[in-house]
Amino acid sequence: MMKTPLTLRPMFEYATTYFPDQQIVARQADGLTRRSYRDTGRRVRQLASALAALGVTAGDRVGTFLWNDAAHLEAYFAIPSLGAVLHTINLRLPADHLAYVINHAADRVLIVDRALWPVLAPLRASLSTVRAIILTGTGYVGEPDPPGTLDYDTLLAQGDPAFAWAELEEDQPLGLCYTSATTGYPKGVLYSHRGIYLHSLGLGLANTFGISADDTVLPIVPMFHANAWGLPFAAFWFGAKIVLPGPAPRPAVLLDLLRDEQVTVAIGVPTVWLALAQELERRPAPLALRAAICGGAAAPPALIRRYEKIFHIPFLHGYGMTETSPVATVARLKPSHRDLSEEAQLRVKASQGMPLPGLTVRLEREGRDVPWDGEAVGELCIQGPWIADAYEGDARTAETFRDGWLHTGDVATIDSEGYVRLVDRTKDVIKSGGEWISSVDLENALMAHPAVLEAAVVGIPHPRWGERPLAFVVVKEGMAVTKEELLAALGPQFARWQWPDDVIWVAEVPKTSVGKFLKRALREQYQDYFAPR
Ligand code: ADP
């Protein structure tokens, strides 16, 4: 067989050759732009030639500091077309982490949304490797661009629309993304062309997300976090219409886009789907969604039920992490699940599901394999062609990548059908009197209560039990519930010793940069809650 290199180049060429008239719709602060794949392809080549003129060559890193917009999508293809590395920078990192990741990656050029410039400006002097800064976007009006920066559109206009892609090897790096660490600075994961190619194919499979030219996709998940789950690469390759929600999209904006563009597939974290559900209840709209894809944190069964039963929108739960490109498992029903009761099917849909074809998973505890009986817990380990094998220049590699497996730091069970069910992140498991309590199970049960909008449960040090669960609950607007009612609702599903010792009413659960519950903040703030007075 031919050894055709698995790179982004044939993906880009296929998309622009076979789907030239397909559309990319991008929201900016001042409205929507619509461009064909043909025009986007031309702009990608122009951007690549402009970057080359700035001295970017193979192996160089180019950082993007952008929302999900047209320039970001162009950068997704233009930077790797030179053999350079697309470093997507998380906009919401604290300043010292931002400086760390840009310097650690050794970014030579940064492409920055004008409206976000005030975040980077104070760091400019400390960015030792950056030679050029390109500004784009219409969000920042009133002041001239800062001295020494370049304008994206001017550069593009000077670029060569016929600029040729570099010869690429499949194992060379295409992208770089940093993932947050529990302690210390973020850790960098390098993606190869081959990994992204195979991962993208994975997203196109009918067994997975089935992304095709019939779809209109909306990546709500940011393109600065794990490549928006790889959707931009896959959707472009397969000729889907792509809708990019632009700067800081609010639920109302997202709902308008879902309705006006008749989006068929959207991807987001549970908190986004929760906010959208609230919006949809306020403002029912005719939608064309064939899949509400949810991952990044556990999808509460109550949320899945709400979408499927009330809005009649199929809900698809997946799991992954930056280190897995990121999609690793998807919870689709198998034929053997079809005759199960609705409740039992919901339990399957709320699990993390089966690995994508091409990946292998196992559970490990104290160095040994854990049986697939749906009961025994162990750390989830993954292998496969789009699973990272190291952190970029980081001593923490050895903790996570051992014996040819990625050790995910997630504690799970696997049932006899091969369905993974995450019990917790290793760091979130609550250890009470030598027994484990799943914070995720408690959260799901609390969020199933009709008056509860959000619930997070964390383990707080306890003088007698080591740790005890403490619940943080956000009540829905206009509703009320007492602690006793809530705990009673946990009812038969939990033993009494597993119940949270107390419920703290909060206006909001603190969130990470991508909208996951930030349990560390709660643990730190309440660490003395059970301390003897
Ligand atoms: P960060 O640590 O910055 O959130 P990642 O996005 O890489 O970075 O997070 C990956 C982690 O998110 C996983 O290890 C897992 O703990 C959690 N996660 C992802 N998807 C799911 C899911 N469907 N259910 C439960 N947890 C999930």
Predicted confidence (pLDDT) per residue in 290-307, tens digit: 999 999 999 999 999 999
- The ligand 1 atom at the shortest distance from the C-alpha of residue 181 is 2
Whether residue 318 lies inside any domain: the answer is no
How does pLDDT run across 429-476, given as a tens digit for each residue? 898 887 889 899 999 999 999 999 999 999 999 988 899 999 999 999
Whether residue 460 lies inside any domain: the answer is yes
Q: What is the pLDDT of residue 490?
A: 87
Alpha-carbon distances of 416 from 27, 208, 409, 432, 500, rounded to whole Å: 45, 20, 22, 28, 31
- The ligand 1 atom at the shortest distance from the C-alpha of residue 409 is 14
- The ligand 1 atom at the shortest distance from the C-alpha of residue 440 is 25
CATH number at residue 109: 3.40.50.12780
* Stretch among 147-161, 265-279, 482-496 having the lowest mean pLDDT: 482-496
| 323 among known catalytic residues | yes
Domain limit, last residue, from 191, 223, 256 = 191
Whether residue 414 lies inside any domain: the answer is no
How does pLDDT run across 140-191, given as a tens digit for each residue? 655 788 999 999 999 999 999 999 999 999 999 999 999 987 678 999 999 9
Q: What is the pLDDT of residue 141?
A: 53
Q: What is the pLDDT of residue 241?
A: 98
Domain limit, last residue, from 191, 222, 245 = 191
**Does the pLDDT value for residue 270 go beyond 80?**
yes
Mean predicted confidence (pLDDT) in 242-255: 96
Three-class DSSP category at 72: helix
| 179 among known catalytic residues | yes
CA distance 422 to 412: 4
C-beta separation of 409 from 363 below 8 A? no
If you ran DSSP here, which 8-state letter would residue 86 be given?
Answer: E
Q: How many CA atoms lie within 13 A of 325 on its CB side?
A: 33
Which amino acid appears at position 164 of this protein?
Answer: A
- Model-level pTM? 0.92
Three-class DSSP category at 187: strand
Number of domains in the chain: 2
**Does the pLDDT value for residue 383 go beyond 60?**
yes
Alpha-carbon distances of 478 from 168, 386, 452, 453, 481, rounded to whole Å: 58, 46, 11, 11, 11
| 397 among known catalytic residues | no
Whether residue 506 lies inside any domain: the answer is yes
CATH number at residue 493: 3.30.300.30
Which token pair is 523?
């643990």
Q: How far does residue 411's CA lie from ligand 1's centre (Å)?
A: 12
How does pLDDT run across 115-124, given as a tens digit for each residue? 999 999 999 9
**Does the pLDDT value for residue 312 go beyond 70?**
yes
Number of Cβ within a 10 Å radius of residue 432: 18
Domain limit, last residue, from 141, 167, 191 = 191
Whether residue 182 lies inside any domain: the answer is yes
Which token pair is 279?
């919006």
Query: Which one of the listed residues 138, 179, 397, 426 is annotated catalytic?
Result: 179
Q: What percent of the chain has pLDDT over 70?
A: 99
| 372 among known catalytic residues | no
C-beta separation of 288 from 533 below 8 A? no
For the chain, the average pLDDT equals 95
Ligand 1 pocket, residue 422 CB under 6 Å: yes
Per-residue confidence at 139, pLDDT binned at 50, 70, 90?
Answer: low
Burial class (CB in 10 A: 0-12, 13-18, 19+), 281: exposed
Per-residue confidence at 347, pLDDT binned at 50, 70, 90?
Answer: very high
Whether residue 308 lies inside any domain: the answer is no
Nearest CA to ligand 1 atom 12: 296
CA-nearest of 140, 167, 159, 175 to 62 is: 175
Q: What is the pLDDT of residue 512?
A: 84
Q: What is the pLDDT of residue 144?
A: 86
Alpha-carbon distances of 98 from 192, 246, 408, rounded to whole Å: 23, 21, 24
Three-class DSSP category at 194: helix
Per-residue confidence at 416, pLDDT binned at 50, 70, 90?
Answer: very high
Q: What is the pLDDT of residue 301?
A: 95
Whether residue 396 lies inside any domain: the answer is no
Helix (H) or strand (E) holding 457: strand 452-462
**Does the pLDDT value for residue 6 go beyond 60?**
yes
Whether residue 84 lies inside any domain: the answer is yes
Q: What is the pLDDT of residue 184?
A: 84
First to last CA, the chain: 73
Residue 120 belongs to domain spanning: 8-191
C-beta separation of 458 from 469 below 8 A? yes
**Mutation probe of ligand 1 site: the residue of 321, 329, 421, 512 with most atoms within 8 A of C-beta:** 321
Per-residue confidence at 394, pLDDT binned at 50, 70, 90?
Answer: very high
- The ligand 1 atom at the shortest distance from the C-alpha of residue 513 is 3
| DSSP conformation letters of 395-414 | TTHHHHEETTEEEEEEEEEE
Give the start-end residues of each E strand in 235-340. 241-244, 265-268, 291-294, 315-320, 327-331
Ligand 1 pocket, residue 172 CB under 6 Å: no
